[in-house]
């Protein structure tokens, strides 16, 4: 698995907390050095995303040198944080936080199994073989919403195993949901949270698109869409409880803005690696290939924003994952679930590595700094 945290090239923008400043600062990375580029012209990442050429603005704004990016990355870990030094925050701010579900065949099959198991991870293994025999292991050639997809749907209904997850996986309409509120995501090194009621849960390594209010994709970053499999498996109506909890969404380490070298085509060709390392010595390696996504990133954005739904401050969109962990952790047939202090690292060469430690959402730092606090602090600093 790649261990480069920050890409060696590209136009990178993010946010940091810096001693002496109440408001989060906008930062850029150049040649391994982090610069504070906060300015009245674009005091938030949302404002940068709304510019005609965000990459040109970030590249052309001189800024103030803050220090070596490796040192700032190291200080961003919750357990190592020194408030006298700069540390990274989530690289997004006022954007709506949206997510796509069931966009890969592998995750589609696991969602069907979750539903059939009703949140019982012990039952899931026996169901997995049955579902695969009935559905088949490869639906990747089926275009969602196509006549062929509708034939599969009819066959599955006839056999009594049609699922709401198959509906959004191969049906005409993609699943788009709200992962969290603006300002609620955490960044590199922060603790990510699991609701205490969950005993079966997993990380979801994903690419996250940054989209302007006009629906234009301006960049991308990495994300962990922390998921409670037992909660969602009991009922899809519990999706909010399974997905939206304190510190349940991480993003970072930086947003890489689109330019001549990094485009949506780069995103479509990305190969994501993920590693979970536990204090018990357990190691889980996973992989997600964007080439196997069943709906294009552009179509997912068009489903989210348009004449049917506007986002005045833009949005970020988690694109979904093909990773669905089934490796046994505590013994045969027990499957995978997180333990406290697991470290999850998600990597791809073009975007770097996003790492976080797993805790209960009740033990993570409470979310106390929202949009109103940001706007007041920007006004006090004469940045509005």
Report the half-sphere exposure of 368 (CA within 13 A, side-chain side). Answer: 3
* DSSP calls for 68-110: EHHHHHHTTSGGG--TTS-EEE-S--SSEEEEEES-BHHHHHH
Query: Angle at the Cα of 207 (from 71 to 245), degrees rounded to 5?
Result: 80
Question: What pLDDT is recorded for position 171?
Answer: 84
Q: Which two tokens stand for residue 285?
A: 């390696």
Pairing of strands 315-318, 205-211: antiparallel
Instruction: Name the average pLDDT for the chain.
Output: 91
Q: H helices of the chain, where?
A: 45-49, 54-60, 69-74, 105-117, 121-135, 147-158, 164-170, 229-234, 239-243, 264-268, 297-304, 371-380
Q: Is the distance from CB of 149 to CB of 143 less than 8 angstroms?
A: yes
Task: Please tell me the distance from the alpha carbon of residue 144 to that of residue 186, in angstroms, as a whole number.
Answer: 33
Give the confidence band of 1 by pLDDT, cuts at 50, 70, 90: very low
pLDDT average, residue stretch 42-57: 98
Task: Please tell me the distance from the alpha carbon of residue 95 to that of residue 370, in angstroms, as a whole number.
Answer: 12
217's enclosing H/E stretch is strand 217-225
More confident residue, 122 or 287: 287
Report the half-sphere exposure of 30 (CA within 13 A, side-chain side). Answer: 15
* DSSP calls for 137-192: S--TTSPTTSHHHHHHHHHHHHTT---HHHHHHHSSS-EEEEEE-TT--B-TT-EE
Question: What pLDDT is recorded for position 2?
Answer: 44
pLDDT average, residue stretch 84-90: 98
Task: Please tell me the distance from the alpha carbon of residue 304 to that of residue 276, in angstroms, as a whole number.
Answer: 31
Note the pTM of the prediction, 2 decimals. Answer: 0.91
Chain centroid offset of residue 301 CA: 15
Lowest-confidence region among 17-26, 152-161, 256-265, 273-282: 152-161
pLDDT tens-digit map of 315-365: 999 999 988 787 889 887 778 999 999 999 999 999 999 999 999 999 999
More confident residue, 371 or 322: 371
Structural domain boundaries in the chain: 95-101+175-381, 105-170
pLDDT tens-digit map of 182-231: 999 999 999 999 999 999 999 999 999 999 999 999 999 999 999 998 99
Task: Return the bridge partners of 306, or none.
Answer: 309
More confident residue, 148 or 95: 95
pLDDT average, residue stretch 366-375: 98
Q: Which two tokens stand for residue 275?
A: 């590693």
**Residue 286 scores a pLDDT above 60:** yes
Phi, psi values for residue 114, rounded to 5°: -55, -45
Closest CA to 244 of 361, 90, 377: 361
Question: What pLDDT is recorded for position 347?
Answer: 97
Report the half-sphere exposure of 144 (CA within 13 A, side-chain side). Answer: 23
Cα separations in angstroms, 218 against 36, 211, 289: 21, 6, 21
Task: Please tell me the distance from the alpha carbon of residue 18 to that of residue 4, in angstroms, as a whole number.
Answer: 24
**Residue 132 scores a pLDDT above 70:** no
User: What does CATH list as the number for 95-101+175-381?
Assistant: 3.90.850.10
Q: Which two tokens stand for residue 303?
A: 């489903």
Task: Return the bridge partners of 12, or none.
Answer: 29, 256
**Residue 114 scores a pLDDT above 90:** no
């Amino acid at each position: 698995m790649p261990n480069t945290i920050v890409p060696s090239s590209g136009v990178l923008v993010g946010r940091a907390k810096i001693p002496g400043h109440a408001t989060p600062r906008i930062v850029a990375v150049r040649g391994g050095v982090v610069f504070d580029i906060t300015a009245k012209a674009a005091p938030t990442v949302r404002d940068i995303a709304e510019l005609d050429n965000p990459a040109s603005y970030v590249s052309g704004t001189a800024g103030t040198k803050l220090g070596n990016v490796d040192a700032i990355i190291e200080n961003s870990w919750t357990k190592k944080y020194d408030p006298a030094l700069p540390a990274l925050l989530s690289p997004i701010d006022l954007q709506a936080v949206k997510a796509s579900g069931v966009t890969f065949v592998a995750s589609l099959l696991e969602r069907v199994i979750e539903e059939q198991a009703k949140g019982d991870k012990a039952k899931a293994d026996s169901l997995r073989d049955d579902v695969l025999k009935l559905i088949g292991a490869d639906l990747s050639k089926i275009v969602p919403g196509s006549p062929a997809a509708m034939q599969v749907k009819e066959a599955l209904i006839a056999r009594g195993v049609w699922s709401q997850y198959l509906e959004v996986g191969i049906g005409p309409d993609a699943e788009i949901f709200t992962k969290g509120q603006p300002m609620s995501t955490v960044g590199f090194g922060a603790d990510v949270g699991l609701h205490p009621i969950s005993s079966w849960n997993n990380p979801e390594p994903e690419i996250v698109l940054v989209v302007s209010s006009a629906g234009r994709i301006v960049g991308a970053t990495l994300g962990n869409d922390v998921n409670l499999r037992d909660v969602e498996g009991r009922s899809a109506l519990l999706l909010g409880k399974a997905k939206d909890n304190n510190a349940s969404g991480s993003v970072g380490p930086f947003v890489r803005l689109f330019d001549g070298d990094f485009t949506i085509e780069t995103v479509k060709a990305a190969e994501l690696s993920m590693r979970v390392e536990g204090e018990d010595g357990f190691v889980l390696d996973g992989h997600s290939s964007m080439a196997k996504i069943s709906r294009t990133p552009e179509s997912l954005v068009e489903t989210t924003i348009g004449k049917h739904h506007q986002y005045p401050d833009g949005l970020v969109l988690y694109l979904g994952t093909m990773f669905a962990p089934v490796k046994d952790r505590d013994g045969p047939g027990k499957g995978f679930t997180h333990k406290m202090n697991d470290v999850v690292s998600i990597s791809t060469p073009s975007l770097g590595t996003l790492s976080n430690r797993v805790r209960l959402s009740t033990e993570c730092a409470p979310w106390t700094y929202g949009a109103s606090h940001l706007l007041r602090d920007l006004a006090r600093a004469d940045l509005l």
